[in-house]
A and B are shown apart, each in its own frame.
Chain A
């Protein structure tokens, strides 16, 4: 019980600096000195409203009308035109019909005029189409222009507000279920630490009406590395969303694992994922105990940092074995099993180190970039049966591990993103829980960064 309380307590606390500059003298001082002013981010709870305030929908055409109708169905306060001085909870810019960069100006200037009226922790979401090599150059220019817009606006926003985009594959309407599941994710507190990022809706997605309260109800999920930190948060979040969770970790972490499993009424499976039959053991446990397996979250990972010049066999090989080789082997077992066939979900935890690289982490970056490659190549294999596979790449997340970084280094690492603070394990977990939803059926092969728009990498 003590452990559980401790973990829950840690989850609620903002870092000291954020607390200091959030009110009173500290807030005043930070403003005068031009210091970073991170705010306490709006995070998801099943009871909280989707967005705090009216949503302004910009853009013309069937797409924007469809999106507006859907937001009304979700009982949101929708505006098609900004009312000066009215504080907004979100702006959704529907740009799915862009043909030329010149068409951007009307929508973007309307958005610009409304930016000053955004509430704290507001959201900007664009909906556009992917720019393809086969597009007419002007069309591709317009579509790719949105990329630059989102990433720049995200850097301009303050006070916990974020800007993200949804990219539609050819032929997918703006109000397709897959796009709407992504829109809901971006608008909600689930995406608190996701900033300047895109999600691609590659197919229509699930047709049935989703249960937004308990989206994973009835599903059985496996989470590796679930004993602590991000893995424990993932296990808790999937359980909160209705899933029955099999918490997996190495036998040596069994005591923490048991505490997590008992807290979420799941089961603990002590298993080293590098054992050759780990995938089969997970399948056997899931089938024997629950008769199904729907979601696999590959979270377990290790770091053995060393400059490449000083690298040894043990450090290189163990990182590759745990972080990527084990996932490849387990996925083979899952994909071969008839029990992991329909609408299954695989979500891997990658890392911003695998995208932007990191000094002293060549082995770790190899494994995490490897995860991204694996995800993209596995997507077509799962798509045949309606399954998806995605990766989440965390940036600086406040965990026991990052708490050990020396103070000054940690303070700098924490502020080097648009939200000027470290993320929390729950932020990574929320992104994973989104990919696991039945509503996200059309969202596959994505690599979503949960990094507060870290200044390095894409």
Chain B
């Protein structure tokens, strides 16, 4: 841990303090000297499909391969050897131990392209981008593809723990007698399968139930959540209509737009939905299917490179990956909400780069639930949270809502867990490139993604 450069007050010695992890911008610059840039060339994803829909019978490998092939076609990379490909899935079959490598082998990329799987819940795609960018910055690789995929439709179903123990014992048995004895242990309850859930192992609560508690804690109204959901649908639909996604999305299995998108939704329609999470809160239950993301299938991929690699191939350069940061919260003991880690990661990341919220031109805050985005913004605007939890002199700050998720986000597009990071990075990189300069400096964008286990990964991109 870096020595604090300024004295810290008592309340800021908490483990989530901004200042305990902060290094001054000057030190950062000197540390980075000799480290090259990692740039975003572009991205590709397949349209996201509500689970049980268009991709019901597609595996994670099918979808990730399709996302890679679309990326290869967009940038003419057939037979090209990429430095490294990293991707992952949150809901993963045990047979997919080498999912990303298998997808690479099935794609048009050179078979000599190395690949590895990684997994950090919903932040998988973000961590892939940040990790690979760092490798590029260090000169270990010149090019990389970061991706993610998830299928809630083709989720693995395991046998019960009881049956699993019996089957393993059976495998070890030597005589028929032993085998018969072991088989006789099977009880009807052992035969019910064990399906994956979004429940937190340590609390038993689903992600939605957790968020419902946080939403109530920050007193986020139903109307505010519905408005955010509506804006997400309207913005995403508008972006499709002006062909914004022509070079970001490649159709798959008959789908050319995200199937969750409801461009014609209205506040009235959203208001008519019954709460699905936090029902124990009675009249204070605000979270509906309309302001929560549905289970979704999909895949995304982002092409990263060094300047030299991109230039040598006459590839576009959309943005730099400036910096990234992860944080985690102690949601188990109720200190913070499950999905509130970005509220801590963002202040640390901005401080390290000598930036404030005012220096950001686009905010991409992943809409796991409308309540997540609004709780995060509320925390940043809260004086007490700023002083006691972030160790600041006051509230962290507020953002100009016209800069938030301007081309829609997960409430409209859907959220195939590991694929969301790639969607956000590619979308923001294109927006920043189109924006170009702001006040004589490159346009900047911030991405914030919350994840299961009380985690969050955030990053800053800068226009090229």
Contact = CB atoms under 8 A, between A and B. Distances in A.
Interface in B230-250: 243, 245-247, 249-250
A266 interface: yes
Interface string B38-73: 000000000000000000000000000010011011
B217 interface: no
B316 A267 contact: no
Contact of A251 (B79, B251, B252): B251
A268 B248 CA distance: 12
B76 A254 contact: no
Contact of B73 (A1, A257, A275, A289): A257
A265 B74 contact: no
A268 B246 contact: no
A259 B69 contact: yes
Interface residues of B, number: 25
Interface in B294-337: 314-316
Nearest to B44: A258
Contacts, number: 68
B252 A255 contact: yes
Count class of interface residues, chain A: 20 to 34
9 contacts: A251-B245, A251-B246, A254-B250, A258-B74, A262-B69, A262-B108, A264-B78, A272-B243, A289-B314
A252 interface: yes
Given A255-B250, A265-B78, A291 B73 contact: no
Given A258-B73, A262-B72, A265-B79, A253 B251 contact: yes
B256 interface: yes
Contacts of A259: 69, 73
A327 to B, nearest CB: 20
Interface of B: 66, 69-70, 72-76, 78-79, 106, 108, 243, 245-247, 249-253, 256, 314-316
B74 A267 contact: yes
A258 B73 CA distance: 5
Contacts of B79: 265
Contacts of A188: none
Given A255-B70, A262-B108, A270 B252 contact: no
A145 B66 CA distance: 57
A270 B76 contact: no
A266 B247 contact: no
A257 B72 CA distance: 11
Nearest to A4: B108
Contacts of A257: 73, 250
Contacts of B314: 288-291
Nearest to B256: A252
A250 to B, nearest CB: 9
B243 A258 contact: no
Interface in A35-51: none
A419 interface: no
A252 B69 CA distance: 16
Contacts of A258: 69-70, 72-74, 250
Contacts of A251: 243, 245-246, 249, 251, 256
Given A254-B250, A255-B66, A291-B314, A267 B106 contact: no
Contacts of B69: 258-259, 262
A253 B434 CA distance: 25
Q: Pick the 9 closest A-B CB pairs, nearest first.
A: A258-B73, A262-B108, A268-B73, A267-B76, A261-B73, A254-B250, A265-B78, A252-B256, A262-B78
